[in-house]
Amino acid sequence: MAERKPEGYLEGRPLHPESLMMSYGYKPALSEGAIKIPIFQTSTFVFKTAEDGKSFFELAYGLRHRGPSEEMGLIYSRLNNPDLEVLEDRLTLWDGAESAATFASGMAAISTTLLAFVRPGDVVLHSEPVYGGTDFLLKHVLPQFGVRVVGFHAGTPAEAAETQLRRQGLADKLAMIYIETPANPTNALVDIAAYAALAARLSGERRVLTAVDNTFLGPLWQQPLRHGADLVLYSATKYIGGHSDVIAGVCLGSRALLDQVKVMRTIFGTMAGAHTGWLLLRSLETLKLRMTSQMKNARYVAEFLNDHPKVERVYYLGNLSEGDPQYEVYRRQCSAAGGMISFEVVGGEKEAFRLLNALKLIHLAVSLGGTESLAEHPASMTHSDVDPEERIELGITPAMVRISIGVEHPEDLIADLAQALEQV
Ligand SMILES: *Cc1c(COP(=O)(O)O)cnc(C)c1O
């Protein structure tokens, strides 16, 4: 768990993350009293002494361990920058992480983190479906480096995945369990605690790590580190950025693991720039407001879709009910249903396209988590790369439409969907 700075407390009581997003980790006195952090648009930083420079570099390259309260000095913006450091401190508060690293994109965070921990001969066990870029990295890039990947469908009990791995004789080569939950676009859940326990069972001399892509529900509605995960990954392009105007990514976890991730980030040069850091700091101030409004709006929209005669099936976490094993996982690891809804129209691709082309307020675009609502067609867009047979197995049919709910008035979103469904 994170060791919060003293400013994270009031009268000995820890403050809520949303109360700290405007100020935590930033000292106005260091920036002429500016209430907001300036954009530190600089490539390099002046050392006070040569000894300082030497000491900072030792830490940056992992040549010695950091002292308990030692902060790394500023060196060069590929290694660190005040906008990123303040952002990273604030991000740790939501997930209860010791440390965070910000990247130029979600894919930069995912690829840098995977390459920090897997080596030739290793096995990665991963949930399916995963984000298209991640899928490509796992299935087409990592194998070129001698890494074997084994997939399991979201919703598979951890014991079944374990049996499969053992039957293939791969259990002792496992380096990482990689989870994306809820799965895109079906909202199928993976039990984080059960898979973290599997990682513990299969750990030998080297610990098997559990990494969770938390883009869909986090950091508000799901905090994987609290359920035993070691690493949390984000496309900050989505809810964290939240305004469809920035591409960025984040990795969070223990200080020891993040120090390793940061060495890789330094070498690959996959960090975010200062301006991206500044934009994300501004976004974090309204993160809870936005995600709460999106979550509430989604509830109204799902209710409307559930009852609509031209809607065949709705995939929404709020629809899960007692008795469903997925409901048990939901109750344990999620605190709200979030703002993502997928549904099947009555018919097929033609009907889905008719609906998408008729939308007026909701924009037809991929991506998600922004203030504006977006709709897309997974089978022909975000998941067109998935093998057609597997696509059907995963439930991604030609009739499916995915919507990311924004902060508009729910009545307007429903009115738009109602008029577009008339066209189906
Ligand atoms: C968008 C997304 C990514 C990739 O993030 P980029 O910022 O586009 O690189 C990874 N995982 C999930 C779940 C995503 O939605």
User: What CATH number has the domain bearing residue 387?
Assistant: 3.90.1150.10
Whether 237 lines ligand 1, by a CB cut-off of 6 Å, is yes
Look-up: residue for tokens 């939240």?
A: 242
Distance between Cα 131 and ligand 1 center (Å): 6
Binned at pLDDT 50, 70 and 90, residue 1 comes out as: low
Whether 366 lines ligand 1, by a CB cut-off of 6 Å, is no
What total of structural domains would you count in the chain?
2
Q: Does the pLDDT at position 125 exceed 90?
A: yes
Across the range 73-88, mean pLDDT stands at: 95
**Is the same domain home to 262 and 322?**
no
* Ligand 1 atom 8: residue of nearest CA: 106
Predicted confidence at residue 2, as pLDDT, reads 60
The chain-wide mean pLDDT, for the chain, equals 95
Whether 215 lines ligand 1, by a CB cut-off of 6 Å, is yes
**Is the same domain home to 116 and 234?**
yes
Distance between Cα 106 and ligand 1 center (Å): 5
The atom number, within ligand 1, closest to the CA of 110 reads 10
**Is the same domain home to 201 and 308?**
no
**Is the same domain home to 275 and 361?**
no
Question: Model confidence over 6-64: pLDDT tens digits?
Answer: 899 999 999 999 999 999 999 999 999 999 999 999 999 999 999 999 999 988 887 88
**Is the same domain home to 249 and 383?**
no
**Is the same domain home to 150 and 265?**
yes
Q: Which residues are catalytic?
A: 78, 131, 213, 238
**Is the same domain home to 297 and 402?**
yes
Please tell me the pTM assigned to this model: 0.96
Binned at pLDDT 50, 70 and 90, residue 106 comes out as: very high
Among 284, 304, 330, the domain-final residue is: 284
Q: Structural domain of residue 201, as residue ranges? A: 77-284
**Is the same domain home to 100 and 247?**
yes
**Is the same domain home to 258 and 311?**
no
**Is the same domain home to 259 and 294?**
no
Among 218, 252, 284, the domain-final residue is: 284
Among 284, 305, 329, the domain-final residue is: 284
**Is the same domain home to 215 and 312?**
no
The atom number, within ligand 1, closest to the CA of 369 reads 15
Phi and psi at 364, nearest 5°, equal -90, 100
Asked if residues 371 and 362 have their Cβ atoms less than 8 Å apart, the reply is: no
Distance between Cα 367 and ligand 1 center (Å): 8
**Is the same domain home to 241 and 92?**
yes
Question: Model confidence over 283-300: pLDDT tens digits?
Answer: 999 999 999 999 999 999
Across the range 95-108, mean pLDDT stands at: 98
Across the range 249-264, mean pLDDT stands at: 96
* Beta bridge mates, 151: 126
Decide if 376 is inside a domain: yes
The atom number, within ligand 1, closest to the CA of 180 reads 13
* Ligand 1 atom 4: residue of nearest CA: 106
Three-state SS letters, 112-180: HHHHHHCCCCCEEEEEECCCHHHHHHHHHHHHHHCCEEEEEECCCCHHHHHHHHHHCCCHHHEEEEEEE
CATH of the domain at 184: 3.40.640.10
Cis amide prior to 398 (ω within 30 degrees)? no
